[in-house]
Copies of this chain bind each other. A is one copy, B any other.
Amino acid sequence: MKPDRRKTLQSVNESGGLFAIWNHPNAHQITYFGLHALQHRGQTSVGLVSYDDGEFHGLHGNGLLTQVFNRPEKLERLIGRHAIGQVRSATQADREDNTNIQPLVFHFSNQTMVITHNGNITNGLTLREQLEAEGAVLSSNSAAELLIHLMRRKPAEDFEAAFKASLRELRGGFNFCLLTESGLYGAVDRNSFRPLVLGQMANGSYLLASETCALHTIGAKFVTEIFAGQYVVINDEGYRIGVYVEDTQITIEPMEYIYFARPDSDIAGVNVHSARKEMGRRLALEQPAPTADLVIGVPNSSLSAASGYAEASGLPYEIGLIKHQYVGRTFIQPTQELREQGVRSKLSVVVNLVRDKSVVLVDDSIVRGTTIRRLAQLLKESGAREIHLRIASPPLRFPNFYGIDVSHTSEMIAANYTVKELNELFGSDSLGYLSVQGLIDSVGLPIENETGGLSLDAFTGAYPADIADCRESLEASLTPLQEKIRKGASCDE
C-alpha cells in the first residue's frame, strides 16, 4: 500500500524543551545546564547553537544531552554570548533523519535565523500547500521552517512586523524561540497551551525556557511567563513584551500539571508537585477506599498524588513499587516465553508489603492502559488481597493535538470503554478517576471561567483552539463512546 503523501508532509507534533539566552559570557554552558533541567521534556535528540560575532556554531545529535555532549570539547567549541537549544522527543522515523534536529539554522544573504519550537501547527499542511504553489521548497516538515518561509515572504524592512504577521497566520499550539544576529525572539500561541518563561541571570542577561525548573538549575530569577498571544523581544537594550493577536483565551494543557512537567516547576504561578498532591487529596475525598490498608504510587510521576491520597485518607504511604534505576535504553526485553515464566523488567513489587493487604494504587493518568493492567496483575500475583485503582486525573478520551502523542484514538483505552468496563478489564476491585471539576479545583488557577484556565479537550472533546487540518481525521475516527460523550452522556460510572 502506498503511504499517504499528506501524512508525510503534515507538520509533526513537536514535543520538546526550549532554552535560549542573550548576552551572557557563558551562554553555551548556561544553555547546556538549562537544557539538562528540561531533559524530561524530550529524550531522543538535542541541538545547541551559539552565536559569536558573525559566526554560528552548533552541535546536533540523537540521544540524551549527556550522550550528545559526551566530551567537554564538544561544548567548549560553541563559543559566543548568545545561544539557543532544544531537547526533543522524536518519532522513530524522525530519529533516523538528523536533518530535523532543532534548532534549525537558515543562512540568508542579509541575515541568519536560528529557530526552535514545540507544539503543533494545526493548519500546517494548508500553509505548506499554499507556499509550494508559489514555488517554495521546504526542506523539512517542521513548523519552525514554515514560520521562516512566512517571514521571508513579508517585507524585510520591519523584522518584528513580519514576525507578528506570520504568527497570526498560524493555528494550533506552539512556542517559538528565534535567534538572529540582532536579537532573541519568543512567542506563544493564542491559548498558551504550553509554558514559556522569561528569566534573568544575576549579571542581567535575559533568557527563555520551557519551565521554571530550568531557572532554578542555572540560578536565574523568574521574571514572567509569556502569555497567550504574546511575543517577547530580547536584545542589548533589555526585553520587551508585545502582543501579536488580541483574540486570546488561556487554556493551559492540564497534562503539564498531571504528568509532563517537573514537580519543582511552577506553571502560571501554580507549583506542579503541590497541584499533584492536591489532586491526590481531592481524589481521596471523591473516590475513597474504605477497606484499604495502604497507598502505593506508580513511580515516579504519581508519587506526589499518592502521598496526597495517603495523607487525606489517613492510610500509610508505602514505597511498594520499585523502578529500576539503571534501566537505560534496554535493547533486550523478555520474550513472550520468558514473560510467561514470570520474567519482568522495569518495575518490581515489594512483596512483603502487599501480601494479604488491600492496596490503593495511585496513577497520574491512563492512556493505553497497558501499564496499569500489568501493575494490577503484578500486585495480585504478589499476594495483594484487594486492588483499588485511583487515577489522579479524569479519563483521557479524546486526542490532544498539542499534548500526549497518541496517533490513533483507538489507542486511548478510555475512548472505548466506560469506567465500569475498564475496572473489569484491569481486574481491579475498584477503579476511580478524579472528576473534571476536581482537576480544575486542584490546580486552582486564578482564572474564573468554566474550564478554570485549562484545556479540557482530552476529557470532553471540546477543542478551545482551531484544529484546522486535523478536524477531518478526528471526525472520521470517533468511537461510539466518544460520540456519546460529545452528546453529553456520562460514562464515568
Contacts and interface: CB of A to CB of B under 8 A. Distances in A.
Interface stretch (A245-253, A315-323, A388-396, A478-486): A315-323
A257 to B, nearest CB: 13
A263 B213 contact: no
A82 B334 CA distance: 18
Contact of A325 (B40, B303, B351): B40
A67 B332 CA distance: 11
A442 to B, nearest CB: 15
B29 A328 contact: no
A2 B216 CA distance: 35
A152 B75 CA distance: 39
A33 B345 contact: yes
Given A66-B327, A263-B319, A353 B136 contact: no
Contacts of A487: none
A460 interface: no
A26 B337 contact: yes
Contacts of A277: 318
A300 interface: yes
A39 interface: yes
Interface in A239-290: 262-264, 266, 271, 273-274, 277
A350 interface: yes
Contacts of A264: 322, 348-351
Contacts of A137: 106, 108, 136-139, 145, 148-149, 152
A224 interface: no
A152 B129 contact: no
Nearest to A270: B352
Oligomeric state, in copies: 4
A217 B323 CA distance: 12
Interface in A93-130: 96-99, 104, 106-110, 128-129
Interface stretch (A3-11, A183-191, A401-409, A462-470): A3-11
Nearest to A341: B219
A72 B335 CA distance: 12
A136 to B, nearest CB: 7
Given A67-B328, A273-B319, A274-B353, A5 B109 contact: yes
A278 to B, nearest CB: 12
Nearest to A53: B2
A374 B12 CA distance: 42
Nearest to A63: B328
Task: Identify the 4 closest CB pairs spanning chains A and B, nearest first.
Answer: A219-B342, A2-B54, A139-B139, A271-B352
Given A132-B152, A137-B137, A273-B320, 7 more contacts: A3-B55, A26-B338, A33-B338, A65-B326, A66-B327, A67-B328, A307-B317
